[in-house]
Amino acid sequence: MTRPSAAAPKPAWTDPDCPVARTLDLVGDRWSLLVIRDAMDGARSFTEFQRRTGVARNILSDRLRRLIAHGVLAQETAPSGRRLQYVLTDAGRDLFPVLLTMRQWGERHAFEPGEPRSTLVDEHGARVPDLKPTGADGAPIDAGTTHVRKTEDGSSPELAEVEAPQ
Amino acid sequence: MTRPSAAAPKPAWTDPDCPVARTLDLVGDRWSLLVIRDAMDGARSFTEFQRRTGVARNILSDRLRRLIAHGVLAQETAPSGRRLQYVLTDAGRDLFPVLLTMRQWGERHAFEPGEPRSTLVDEHGARVPDLKPTGADGAPIDAGTTHVRKTEDGSSPELAEVEAPQ
DNA sequence: GCATGATGGTCTCGATTCGCAACTCATCGG
DNA sequence: CCGATGAGTTGCGAATCGAGACCATCATGC
pLDDT tens figures, A86-97:
999 999 999 999
Residue B8 has pLDDT above 60, yes or no: no
pLDDT tens figures, A60-77:
999 999 999 999 999 987
Say how far apart CA B135 and CA B80 lie, in whole Å: 46
Separation in Å, CA of B65 to nearest CA in chain A: 18
With contact defined as beta carbons under 8 Å apart, do A88 and A40 qualify? yes
* Residue among B20, B77, B46, B148 nearest A122 (CA): B148
How many contacts does A have with B, using Cβ atoms within 8 A? 316
List of residues 6+ apart from A93 with CB closer than 8 A: A40, B142, B143, B144
Q: Domain-by-domain residue ranges, chain A?
A: 19-110
* Residue among A89, A150, A19, A135 nearest B130 (CA): A135
Residues of chain A numbered 117-156 and touching chain B (CB < 8 Å): 117-129, 131-137, 141-154, 156
Confidence (pLDDT) at A12: 84
Residue B1 has pLDDT above 50, yes or no: no
Dmax (CA) for chain B in angstroms is 64
List of residues 6+ apart from B71 with CB closer than 8 A: A109, B89, B91, B92
Average confidence (pLDDT) over A26-54: 96
All residues of chain B having their beta carbon less than 8 Å from the beta carbon of residue A126 are 135-137, 157-158
Give the chain A residue whose CA is nearest to the CA of B113. Answer: A154
Nearest 5°: phi and psi at B5?
-110, -165
Radius of gyration for the alpha carbons in chain B, expressed in angstroms and rounded: 20
Separation in Å, CA of A87 to nearest CA in chain B: 12
Determine the residue type at B11: P
A24 contacts B34? CB cut-off 8 A: yes
With contact defined as beta carbons under 8 Å apart, do A134 and B148 qualify? no
pTM above 0.85, yes or no: yes
CATH T-level topology, domain B19-110 = Arc Repressor Mutant, subunit A (1.10.10)
With contact defined as beta carbons under 8 Å apart, do A75 and B67 qualify? no
* Residue among B90, B52, B45 nearest B72 (CA): B90
Between CA B47 and C1' D30 the distance (Å) reads 28
DSSP code for B110: S
Q: Which of A17-26, B10-19, B45-54, B76-85 has the lowest mean pLDDT?
A: B76-85
B166 in contact with chain A, both atoms CB, cutoff 8 A? no
Residue B103 has pLDDT above 90, yes or no: yes
DSSP code for B127: B
CB atoms within 10 A of CB B134: 13
B10 in contact with chain A, both atoms CB, cutoff 8 A? no
Of B102, B128, B148, the CB nearest to A41: B148
- CA distance to A37, A128, A130, B66, B104, per residue, from B145 (Å): 14, 11, 16, 36, 21
Percent of chain A with pLDDT over 90: 76
Average confidence (pLDDT) over B46-61: 97
B146-150 and B73-77 strand pairing: unpaired
Average confidence (pLDDT) over B37-61: 97
Confidence (pLDDT) at B80: 63
Average confidence (pLDDT) over B43-66: 97
Residue A155 has pLDDT above 60, yes or no: no
With contact defined as beta carbons under 8 Å apart, do B35 and B60 qualify? yes
With contact defined as beta carbons under 8 Å apart, do B127 and B119 qualify? yes
Say how far apart CA B44 and CA B40 lie, in whole Å: 9
pLDDT band at B152 (very low <50, low <70, confident <90, very high): low
